Amino acid sequence: MSTRRKRLAPGIVEPRLRGRFGRPYLWSEACRSTQDVLRGTEAPEGAVALTEHQTAGRGREGRRWEDVAGTSLLFSLLLRPPAGPPAEQLSLVAGLAVAEAVEETRDAAGIKWPNDVLLRGRKVAGVLLEAAEGVVVCGVGVNVLQAEDELPVGTPVPAGSLLSVTGRAPDRAELLVTLLEILEHRYDAWRRAGLAPMLDELEARNVLRGRRVEVGGERGVAGPIATDGRLTLGRDDGTTVLVGSGEVVTRPT
């Protein structure tokens, strides 16, 4: 069986797990969305739902997430964070974990606030959070093995896969267990101390800093990511505002 079609079935993944994330591991050949599998369930924290293909995958702002069966990592992770730091910060926590995992390809990854991961200026991964009643379902999509002609076109940020950008074909199972291990470590650190200890690493990957952007009805030059996870924006009138959410559109300088 080719690397592309090697399924991430429980027998392949479960023996390789290195922590509590991924237990239980709910695998399917196809489903509408892995977010739907975990939403409203009594599954324990760390449960992961992964599928080879989503028939109705979605990203932020209601956009459709397109995939080719057997080429991506498409999973959702159930979290039950304590009261304290805003759950929205988990987009950055998860984004940092994804960036670290894809850097196993020996390419430096960038983070486009609040939830996209880029390699060489192309989006290879995204994070989607859905929170309700103290439960967060964190959806992660990573383009791994798509060929150039299998990637979506016309997206706000040009799409790429780890294969199309780097020329290397990572093992999906190893990438998954590495990502879950890093994400567990980052999540536990966030629970202890919030986002502040991760800011230097986030800032080192902040691809928006210094760029002219429009977000949340505000225009200006993007600055650093603040301690609470908001994006600093320098307006043209010299004032500074912190933006907490919204779709970021880059503008010509």
Query: Which tens digits make up the pLDDT trace of 31-67?
Result: 999 999 999 999 999 999 999 999 987 655 556 667 8
What CATH number did the domain enclosing 43 receive? 3.30.930.10
User: Do 110 and 49 belong to one domain?
Assistant: yes
User: Do 157 and 238 belong to one domain?
Assistant: no
Residue 2 covered by a domain = no
pLDDT score at 37: 97
CA 122 to chain centre: 14
| pLDDT tier at 85, thresholds 50, 70, 90 | confident
- Span 125-166, pLDDT tens digits: 999 999 999 999 999 999 999 999 999 998 889 999 999 999
User: Do 102 and 188 belong to one domain?
Assistant: yes
Mean pLDDT across the chain:
93
* Tokens describing residue 34: 């892995």
Instruction: Flag the least confident range among 24-28, 40-44, 236-240, 247-251.
Output: 247-251
Structural domain including 221 reads: 208-250
pLDDT score at 63: 63
User: Do 161 and 242 belong to one domain?
Assistant: no
Instruction: Flag the least confident range among 30-39, 61-70, 174-183, 193-202.
Output: 61-70
Residue 5 covered by a domain = no
Buried b (16+ CB within 10 A) or exposed e, 38-75: beeeebeebbbbbbbbbeebbbbeeeebbbbebbbbbb
User: Do 26 and 115 belong to one domain?
Assistant: yes
What CATH number did the domain enclosing 233 receive? 2.30.30
pLDDT score at 5: 62
Residue 4 covered by a domain = no
User: Do 91 and 161 belong to one domain?
Assistant: yes
User: Do 174 and 212 belong to one domain?
Assistant: no
Alpha-carbon span 200 to 101, nearest angstrom: 17
Q: What is the pTM of this model?
A: 0.93
Residue 219 covered by a domain = yes
Q: Total structural domains in the chain? A: 2
User: Do 245 and 121 belong to one domain?
Assistant: no
